[in-house]
Structure formats: C-alpha cells, structure tokens
Chains A and B, each alone.
Chain A
C-alpha cells in the first residue's frame, strides 16, 4: 500500500511515522501534490496553531490538493480541525471539507483545565475506523479546541461538554485525539484506517 503523510509546518509528523513503523507500515512524508494525489491513503497530522498551519498549507497550495482527494484521508488533532469549516483559534477559516465549527474549551481552574491533557474515553463509536474498539476505550488528548457534534460525528468524548472526538464525511476521517500516542487502542485505530 502506498501511504502518504502530508508534510507541512505542523508538529507531530515523526510521531505518526514512528507509530506506523511500530505496526509495520512504511509511509512517505511529502508535500508533493502528485505524490499525495496518487497515494492509496493519506494521513494529515498536526500539532500547533490552526492559523499558521493553514498558512503553511496555502503556501504550497496543499489546501486545494487536500480538498480534491478521493482516497481515504485521516486528519489527526489539528489535522482534523483543519478539515472543518472554521476554528475559533485565531479566527481561522479552515478547509471546509467537513461543515463543522471548532470552538475553544472554557477553563474552570481546578475543575476543567485547558488544554485537556490526558486520557479520556470515547463513546458512540461508528464507522469501520473503530472496528474492534470497545465503547469507553481510553485515548490520549492534548487540545484546547474541539469540534462541535453533528451528524458527521463518529465518536464522542466528554470534557465539560460532549464534543466530537472523531468526524467523517465521505472519504475524509478526522480524530481529535492522538491515535499515534494512544497505546494499543491507538495502534488498532491506525490499523483500522489502513484497512478501510
């Protein structure tokens, strides 16, 4: 299988590569449109700030490339948020592939810390992305912004409110959590994506 990881100025790319290597899969890290378009599957990672991440994509015209992809695409963390319509993080217009808005958690000191850091449970699991994943499994999160729930939600998580832990529209999948850092559960979700 020909797997491409989109290279742009956004953090955790090596973590994703390491996770894939641990489950025995090689991937190309690339910002070349032709390579991305011809890949069987595409992973769109991200850590950092939405506005500068969008600018980095636009600089290489990758925003147009991603919107036109037909193969399965998995956005991770900020990658997922960029698939959405709009983020409150620096009032950023995102790719608009999944018509969902991204909002900021409101901190409440010792009761609700922001960012959410750590392991939380995912529920209401839908789609093959969660094959053989039990309801209530723990996944690792680091984020201050979340996607609102709607009909594109394929997993929910609760942190002060219920938000979309994963999204799907057509061939585009997104997970808010770091599947590449989520122990055996995360490894299985990555494998499930590769088997879609």
Chain B
C-alpha cells in the first residue's frame, strides 16, 4: 500500500491548520502555564478578529470558569464573535448537556468542544452528533505520560486521573461520533519544549478523524515537527501567539518553506 499512500498524500491540497486558543475568564482572555498561573492577554473578540486578519485558520475559545450563571454571558460573547469574525470557531468549557451545546451553536459557534462530560457519559457525543452533526463535536483529551510508559486520560482540567488509556478512549470517541480530537499532552503543556510528537503520531495514525495537537509549542520548528513527525491535522497554541513570540504570518511562511501546505 506504500505507493497508494504516497498517491493520496499527493492528491490532497488540504492545508494544515493553525489554531490560536483563547482561554476566557470573566469575558477576558487568559492563559495558564501548566494549568495553574493565569495571565491576562486581552479582549477575546478583538483578539480573535486580529488573529483572523493575520491568517489564523480557526479559533478555539475555552471558558475556564464556565458555571451555570456564566453560561448566558458566554452565549452573548459567542454571539459577538460570530458576528465579527469570518473564519470558523469552536467553543468549550464546562459543557455538560445537549442543552448547553444548543445554546452555543444557536449563538453562532461552529463547533463545540467537550472533555470531562464526554468521558463520564460518552452517549453525549452521539446525542450531539445526531442532533447537530459530527462536524461540530470536538472531543478534547487531556493526557499524561506516566512511569509505566502509558498515556492516561485526565479529567476536570487535569485534576482527576482515570485508568483509561488515551489510545483506547480516542478509538471509543470516534465510534460514538466525534468529528475531531483536540489532544493535549499535560507533560508538554506550558513547557514550550515542543509538542508530544510520538503521542500525536500514534493517535493521528489510529483514528479516521482529524487530530488537533496541543500543548508545549515554543517555536516555529515545533509546529513543523508536529505536522511532519506528529502527523497532526492542526496545531493549537495560546501564549506564543498572545504574547507575540510567534506571529502567524511568519509561522505560515516558515511552514511553507518546509513544504508544508498552509493557507497564506
């Protein structure tokens, strides 16, 4: 099948996606390092519009303080985003039910991302897929490499360990109807030492849906690695963009010079 594989690679001009992630708290953008320290990095709508103009392919908004009383505020923010930007965007954080999903999609989100709730009740994935289509269901996995050499799934923003291995959960959530996987290595997140290449390659190579790599990027080379070695379909990052350590136009020019298809 090697020659056929090569043929398929040549016959697709789908671009690798660059996705800034905006963590939202009280309507403002923040980014934690190793899920703890938070720094303020601006207004989400303005920041998203700026990223869209710079060439971001998509934007992810994660409401890290999502609670029931905040839900309405989030929907209003989503509505403002939908009216402002002309690229797709995903919203997540504390989504626990089809009702939560309907509110966000109704406000204009293109996709939603779910994590803990999907793990605790995988039928939520199929419910959303049946009601709104697989294309809008991005299942996020936070995973950690442990001493036994296995990647385990963590919940509740990395605070709760499970016995589930990442590769097993990835296969299950595809069967339930997920449209994409947002894969975050907790070992790499916040380190700026690069993405989890082996993990990303393993998961991307074992599921039939796109995989978005997340966690650990600190340089433009890291993006090239995660597309070439990690076989990721998209790469997500936050602080390197928010603090202008990497500018998206420069990043795309760099990736293009490495013969990686990107939208310029």
Contacts and interface: CB of A to CB of B under 8 A. Distances in A.
Contact of A158 (B11, B52, B133, B209): B11
B135 A18 contact: no
A82 B233 CA distance: 29
Contact of A108 (B8, B57, B110, B233): B8
A120 B88 contact: no
Contact of B210 (A14, A113, A186): A113
Contacts of A61: none
Nearest to A12: B110
A188 to B, nearest CB: 11
B15 A120 contact: yes
A182 interface: yes
Given A48-B132, A109-B208, A158-B13, A14 B88 contact: no
B180 A114 contact: no
Interface residues of B, number: 40
A104 interface: no
A93 to B, nearest CB: 21
Given A109-B207, A115-B179, A142 B8 contact: no
Interface string A132-173: 000000101111100000000000011111100000000000
Interface string B1-30: 000010011011111110000000000000
A147 B80 CA distance: 34
Nearest to B130: A49
Contacts of B16: 118
A41 interface: no
Interface string B193-235: 0000000000011111110000000000000000000010110
Contacts of B17: 118-119
Nearest to A121: B13
Interface string A88-131: 00000000000000000001111111111111110000000000
B11 A181 contact: no
Given A11-B133, A14-B82, A142-B88, 4 more contacts: A15-B110, A118-B16, A159-B11, A182-B86
